[in-house]
Structure 1
Amino acid sequence: MPKKTFFRRRLTRRASLDPLLLPASIAWSTIALLILLGALQEMGGFHPALDTKFGLASIGLFFAGGLVSIAVFKVLRRREAGPQPVEKSNEKRKVPDRLLDGEIQAWWISVISPLENLLVRTHLHPNVVTALSFGFNLVGCVFLFLGWLFLAGWVILLGGTMDMLDGRIARKTGTVSRRGAFFDSVMDRYGEILIFLGLSAHFRDSILLYIILLAMAGSLMVSYTRARAEGLGVTCKVGMLQRPERVVFLGFGAIFSSILYMLRGTLGLNAGPYLMGFVLLVIALLSNATAFSRMVYIMRKLGREGQDGGPG
């Protein structure tokens, strides 16, 4: 059999088994290239005069790779799903409760699915994946302290990705347990605290320090209200700014703050701290609003059940 025919058949067979491998490959290739360039730039591999070119190249590569990956994903998923019935105009679409519900979440799950399948095949225990997520957050904390925001942003996003994978792997491998869920929750809180500590160290001489503390308090209260509710027998997953949204905001906030710093010569000012401050302010406001809305929701649920007898 000719070599070309052999390789073509192998590629066709692989594509038929996993049609979403292409958008995942595009996304991970883009991320790997951005991380490599970011490491070279922030660790002194490029001359400062090249900052502007690197910033523009990063923006171009980020949006080009991301948009192409999303477009390919949508085309493949539409082809796989087949023709869909036309929705009636009088039917109201459900408004998502969270910022990352819908197409973006489905796309990212397809991006991480090859990694998920690989970890399942290697029989890696979900608790190890949880520990890896914490490790990424620890590295992110160090990078933030050193001022390497570009790398820190990607590490934060990778840590959040591993946090998504541990539960999915546990369900796929039949290793779901209360012990694992408890370990995951505790390590998530410690990981989130580490990121805010890194930000606090980086902005220790700025007014942003107070916003960071407010954001950290809100983030912890979002998790605490859910945990306390579940301890009382109430399921509570409401709220707009939950952990995945906070991870995305912090990760991309750090990445684009670093890019704006690189473009300071073109823009005439360093707009990075302003963007990071805006992101942190959004997290501070929305996380505390989410915690408060959860408190109201839980108290109403407990009130209906006649369980509002006072503090324990």
Structure 2
Amino acid sequence: MLSSSQIKLKAQELLKPLAEAVSSTGISPNAVTVAGFFFSLISGFSIATGNLNLGTAFFILSGICDMMDGIIARVTGKTSPFGAFLDSFLDRYSDFFPLSGLVVFGFEEDNLPIVLLSLFSMVGAFATSYARARAESLGADCKSGLVERPERFFILLFALISGLFVEVLSVLAVLSNLTAFQRLLCAAEKLRK
């Protein structure tokens, strides 16, 4: 099974030529980050209104931007603390928009399991991210866990493509929250020393 870092490396390898082409136009890494945010917003709105094909297309575009901004920053030598902060900050919105779109979609379809599983997936994603950031602020490194952002992206993408929302969101909800609690245990172990 591929780890999150292996998935990220493979994706970066595939996207490097595209990132180099984009960077040659003068587009900054932060602009790509912001574009990914807007693509995710459009994705969530499209999903909420039942336009799943458009929502999926914009979800894919947002994921590509999320992977490319870091590559462009490294290729152009424009890495910065603010760029890293902006990326992490807008990632939380990019986690929120598609899942909130599914909450509305589930509500409109009168499908309570989709609503609840999307909400549990959302809180799992946020708790996973928060656990890492809070642990790091206290001096503990807790990056471990079953599913990080790349895995969550591909699991949600599979839900959107397959239409197996309840089944796939069940997996996402369970694994996201298990990951958050794995980080809780990691923090408890490291911060009690």
CA RMSD of aligned residues (A): 1.7
Counterparts of 2:182 and 2:162 in 1: how far apart (Å)?
30
Q: CA deviation at 1:127?
A: 0.9
Q: Which residue of 1 aligns with 2:111?
A: 206
CA-to-aligned-CA distance 1:224-251 (integer Å, 9 cap, x gap) = 0011112112222211211111111112
Does the 8 A contact of 2:36 with 2:62 survive in 1? yes
CA-to-aligned-CA distance 1:192-251 (integer Å, 9 cap, x gap) = 111111111100121121111111110110110011112112222211211111111112
| Structure-2 change in CA distance of 1:241 and 1:131 (3 Å) | same
- Which among 165, 175, 196 is matched to residue 68 of structure 2? 165
Q: CA deviation at 1:105?
A: 5.1
Does the 8 A contact of 1:156 with 1:250 survive in 2? no
Q: Which residue of 2 aligns with 1:30?
A: none
Counterparts of 1:110 and 1:198 in 2: how far apart (Å)?
31
Does the 8 A contact of 1:152 with 1:251 survive in 2? no
CA-to-aligned-CA distance 1:82-130 (integer Å, 9 cap, x gap) = xxxxxxxxxxxxx75x3x554x655533332221111221222111011
Counterparts of 1:252 and 1:183 in 2: how far apart (Å)?
27
- Where structure 1 has 5 or more consecutive residues not aligned to the other structure, the ranges are 1-94, 258-274, 305-312
Aligned pairs for 1:7-46 (under 5 A) are none
Alignment of 1:294 onto 2:193: no
- Where structure 2 has 5 or more consecutive residues not aligned to the other structure, the ranges are none
Does the 8 A contact of 1:222 with 1:290 survive in 2? yes
Counterparts of 2:37 and 2:102 in 1: how far apart (Å)?
16
| Bigger Rg over Cα | 1
Counterparts of 2:15 and 2:74 in 1: how far apart (Å)?
15
Counterparts of 2:155 and 2:51 in 1: how far apart (Å)?
17
Counterparts of 1:234 and 1:101 in 2: how far apart (Å)?
19
Higher helix share: 2
Counterparts of 1:105 and 1:302 in 2: how far apart (Å)?
28
Does the 8 A contact of 2:12 with 2:71 survive in 1? no
TM-score normalised by structure 2 residue count: 0.90
Counterparts of 2:83 and 2:8 in 1: how far apart (Å)?
24
Counterparts of 1:105 and 1:192 in 2: how far apart (Å)?
17
Letter in 2 for 1:298: A
- Which among 119, 122, 130 is matched to residue 224 of structure 1? 130
Aligned pairs for 1:119-268 (under 5 A) are 119-204=22-107, 205-207=110-112, 208-257=114-163
Percent identical among aligned pairs is: 38
Counterparts of 2:14 and 2:50 in 1: how far apart (Å)?
29
Does the 8 A contact of 1:157 with 1:248 survive in 2? no
Letter in 1 for 2:122: M
- List structure 1 segments (4+ residues) > 6 angstroms apart after TM superposition: none
Letter in 1 for 2:102: L
TM-score normalised by structure 1 residue count: 0.57
Work out the number of aligned pairs and report it.
Answer: 190
